[in-house]
Amino acid sequence: MLIKKIDRMENNRNEFTFKNKNCLKRMVKLDKNYVISRLIDAIENNSGDMGRNQYLLKRINKNELIFESDKKYLERILEVDIDEICKIEINKSADILKKDKSIFLNSNLTKCALCNKNIQLNEKSTRCQKNWYHLNCFTIISKEQIKSSENKDFKQSVKTKIKKDPIQLVLTVIIFIFLVASVYFILGPISMMAMGLGGTITIYHIIGSRKKLFSTNVSSKRGPSIFLLFLLGSPFIIAAMIAYEGYTLLESPVRIILLWAMTISFWSTMLFVPMAVVSKYREDIQPDVKTYPTISIIIPAYKEEKVIAHTIEGLLETKYPKKEIIFVDDGSKDRTLDIAMRYKDKIKVLHKENGGKASALNYGLIYATGEIVVIVDADTIIGRHSLKEIVRGFEVNEHVAAVAGNIKVRNRVNWITKCQALEYITGIQIVRRAFDVFGSITIVPGALGAFKKSFLAESGAYGKETIVEDFDQTIKLLKAGLITQGSSKATAYTEAPNTLHDFVAQRKRLYRGDIQVLKRHADALNNPRFGYLQKLSLPYLFLGMIITPIIGFTATANAILGIILGDGWYVLQVSAIFIVVHYLMSALAIRIDGEDPKLLWHAGFLVFGYKQIVDYLLLKAIIEQLRKEKATWTSAKRTGV
C-alpha cells in the first residue's frame, strides 16, 4: 500500500513529492515528527495562518497528502527546505506525539472573536476580517453589525492613506469669512438680513442631505419646493426691507436687484463649497474596485474624420479587463466610417442612415452586451484609468443608475477655450460635487457618461424630443427615483470651440436643448415624489437657465442707473464682493482638481466679459423658445488638436 501511495505522489506534479522512496518512507514514519514539532511551535507563536496551520497539522498527522502550495507555505513559515528534511537525522521523544495529540484534542490556540471560547477542530468555523468565529456564532451576528465594523476599520485605515490638503481648507475658511464679514461690515444690516434668507435655505438643504438619496416615488401633496419659493419670493421680501429703510422709488430697484443677486450668490456659496469638500473626501476614502463588470462603450459619430482615430485609439489603450467598443456611424458623408473600419478587428463597427445622435445611441444599445454602458463622444479622449474609476461610482449604492465623468478642455489655445476650461472646472468641482452629495447630478454628459444597462432599459430609449439627449435621459433616471453620481477621477478630454463663431453655434444648441428639457420635465417642479430632483436640482436649473441671465442683464442696467443716481459706491462694493468670491471659488476648484493655476487669471472674465456672452445666448434661447422657433442641431468645426 505504501509503494502505491508513493507512486501516486510522484505522478502528481501538484502534490507533496520527495526525491526517493526510501527517504519518503523515513519521512512518513519518523521525520514527520520534525515538521509537526515545528508546526506546533508556529501555532504557539501565532506565526502564519492559524487555520491553515491546524489544517496541515491534522493532515500530516494522518499521513495524508498535501499539495505543492502547502509545501511552499510550510517552507516559508518554518524556514526549512522540505526536500532536505529526509537528510536530517532527528531523534525525537514520544512527547512530541503526545503534544501533537493534545493540540488536536484541546485546540486551545484559536478563539472565537464573538464568544471568546476555544474553536475545536471538530467544530465548524469561519473567518471574517482576520477573525475566526464559530459558524453558529457567525450566523447570529447581523450583517449590519459586521458591515459597520468593517466600515469603522476601513475609515480608520484610510486616515493614514489620505493626504489632507491644508490649502483647500484655508481657501474654504477664507471664502466664508470674507463673505460674512463683507456683508456685515460693508453692506450693512439690510444686506445681512437678505443673506440670512440664503443661509436658512442652505441649512435646510444640508440637514436634508443626511436622509436617503433615492426617491421612494411615494405620492404626496403637490407643491413647489421651498427653494423654488425662495427664488421667486426673495426679491419681494428684499423690496419690503428696503422700502422700510426709506429708500426712494428710483433707488429701490437698484438695491433690490443687486441684493437679490447677492442673496442667491450667498446661498450657492454657503451650500456648494462645503458640499464640494464633503464630496471630495468621500471620493478619496472610497475603496478600490471590487469587481469588474463587462463594459460596453458606444461611440456615436457623424462627420468626425478629423478626431475619430484619436478617440478609438484612446479607448483601446484604456486599462480595463472586460470591455467592448461599439462604433456607430450615423450616416457620415466624409471618411469617418472608412477610418473606423481600420479597427474592425478590435471593435464593433456599425453603420446606419442618418437619424441623429439619439437614434445612433439606441442602435448601439442593441449590440451592447455589457452590464454597464459607457457613452463617449467622437471627439473625446478618455484617461487610461477612467473606465475603472467610473465603475467605482456604481459601487457606492445599489440605486446608482449613472455616473458622470470629469470633462476637461484639451485645446486651451486662446481666451475663449481657456474660459471654457475654467468654466468646466468650477462647474464640476464645485456645483456638480454638491449635487453628487445629494445623488442628483442632472447631466451625465455625452462626452463621458456611464449607465447601468438594466436601469437604462427601464427608463426607456433615448428620445428625439430634445436635442440634448444626455440631459433628457439623466432627468428620466432621476424621475424614476434613482441616483446619479459623479467621478472626478474618470477624466475625459474634449475639444472645445476655439472661435467665438463656433462657441455661439455650440451653445445655441445646448441652451435651446436645456430649455426643451426643462419644459418637458416641468411637472417635477411641484411633485415631491421625485425627491431631490424636485427639492433642489430642477429649481437650480430653473435658476441657472432662466433667473440668472435675467438677473445678469438687469443687474448691469441697474448698476449703471445706480452710478448715475449717485449710488456708485454701493454698486462698486457689491461688484468687488462678487469678483473676490468668484476668484476664491475658482481657486478652490482648481486646487481640488489639481489643475493648472494659470487658469485663475481668467476667473474675472466669468464675472465680466465671458459671462455676459453666456447670459445673452441664454436669453436668446429663451426668446426663441417663447416664439416657438424650431431648435436645430449645430456643432463646432473640428480641428483635430
- How many Å apart are CA 66 and CA 89, to the nearest integer? 23
Residue 295 one-letter amino acid: I
CB atoms within 10 A of CB 13: 7
pLDDT digits (tens, 9 = 90+) for 436-447: 988 899 999 999
pLDDT digits (tens, 9 = 90+) for 549-595: 888 888 777 778 778 877 778 788 888 888 898 999 999 999 999 89
Residues in the chain: 641
- How many Å apart are CA 405 and CA 384, to the nearest integer? 13
Q: Does residue 159 carry a pLDDT above 90?
A: no
SS3 content of the chain, % helix, strand, coil (to 5): 60, 10, 30
Q: Which of 396-400, 426-430, 553-557 has the lowest mean pLDDT?
A: 553-557
Task: Give start and end residues of each alpha helix (H) in 62-134.
Answer: 68-78, 95-106
The pLDDT value recorded for residue 567 is: 73
Q: Which of 547, 526, 545 is nearest to 233 (CA)?
A: 547
The pLDDT value recorded for residue 142 is: 43
Higher pLDDT pick, 212 / 22: 212
The pLDDT value recorded for residue 316 is: 92
The beta strands (E) that lie in 414-482 are given as: 448-452
- How many Å apart are CA 247 and CA 270, to the nearest integer? 29
Higher pLDDT pick, 62 / 218: 62
Q: Which of 525, 522, 526, 523 is nearest to 223 (CA)?
A: 526
Q: Does residue 41 carry a pLDDT above 90?
A: no
Q: Does residue 18 carry a pLDDT above 50?
A: no
The beta strands (E) that lie in 52-138 are given as: 125-128, 131-134
Q: Which of 104-113, 290-299, 313-322, 614-623 has the lowest mean pLDDT?
A: 104-113
Give 528-566 as a 3 state SS string. HHHCHHHHHHHHHHHHHHHHHHHHHHHHHHHHHHHHHCC
The pLDDT value recorded for residue 217 is: 58
Looking only at the bridges linking them, the beta strands covering 348-352 and 372-376 are: unpaired
Local confidence band at 138 (pLDDT 50, 70, 90 cut-offs): low
Residue 298 near residue 368, CB atoms below 8 Å? yes
Share of the chain above pLDDT 90, in %: 32
Q: Which of 488, 284, 482, 320 is nearest to 397 (CA)?
A: 482
204-209 long-range contacts, Cβ below 8 Å, gap at least 24?
205/271, 205/438, 205/535, 205/536, 206/271, 206/274, 206/275, 208/438, 208/532, 208/535, 209/275, 209/437, 209/438
Share of the chain above pLDDT 70, in %: 73
Local confidence band at 461 (pLDDT 50, 70, 90 cut-offs): confident
The pLDDT value recorded for residue 293 is: 92
Q: Does residue 81 carry a pLDDT above 50?
A: yes
- Mean pLDDT over 141-146 rounds to 45
Residues in CB range of 199: below 8 A, 6 or more apart:
266, 267, 270
Average pLDDT, the chain: 78
Helix 610-626 vs helix 415-426: angle between axes, to the nearest 10 degrees? 80
Local confidence band at 4 (pLDDT 50, 70, 90 cut-offs): very low
Q: What is the pTM of this model?
A: 0.72
Q: Which of 262-266, 392-396, 410-414, 429-433 has the lowest mean pLDDT?
A: 262-266
Q: Which of 225, 221, 490, 533 is nearest to 372 (CA)?
A: 490
Whose cell is 468668484? That residue is 582
Q: Does residue 119 carry a pLDDT above 50?
A: yes
The pLDDT value recorded for residue 441 is: 93
The pLDDT value recorded for residue 369 is: 93
- Mean pLDDT over 472-483 rounds to 91
Cα Rg of the chain, angstroms: 33
- Mean pLDDT over 617-637 rounds to 81
Give 293-340 as a 3 state SS string. CCEEEEEEECCCCCCHHHHHHHHHHCCCCCEEEEEEEECCCCCHHHHH
Copy the grid coordinates of residue 219: 405620492
As assigned by CATH, the class of the 292-546+596-626 domain is: alpha beta
- How many Å apart are CA 335 and CA 299, to the nearest integer? 16
Q: Which of 26-40, 207-221, 225-239, 496-510 has the lowest mean pLDDT?
A: 26-40
Q: Which of 378, 300, 377, 309 is nearest to 339 (CA)?
A: 309
Residue 256 near residue 238, CB atoms below 8 Å? yes
Q: Which of 617, 168, 142 is nearest to 416 (CA)?
A: 617
C-alpha distances (whole Å) from 441 to each of 291, 473, 526 are: 24, 12, 19
Higher pLDDT pick, 640 / 597: 597
Q: Which of 250-264, 493-507, 588-602, 617-631 has the lowest mean pLDDT?
A: 250-264
Q: Does residue 14 carry a pLDDT above 50?
A: no
- Mean pLDDT over 277-284 rounds to 88
The pLDDT value recorded for residue 231 is: 79
Q: Which of 80-89, 237-246, 250-259 has the lowest mean pLDDT?
A: 80-89
φ and ψ at residue 409, rounded to 5 degrees: -85, 125
Local confidence band at 97 (pLDDT 50, 70, 90 cut-offs): very low
φ and ψ at residue 514, rounded to 5 degrees: -60, -45
- Mean pLDDT over 408-420 rounds to 93
Q: Which of 63-77, 219-233, 491-505 has the lowest mean pLDDT?
A: 63-77
- How many Å apart are CA 617 and CA 454, to the nearest integer? 37
Where do the structural domains in the chain lie, given as residue ranges? 2-155, 292-546+596-626
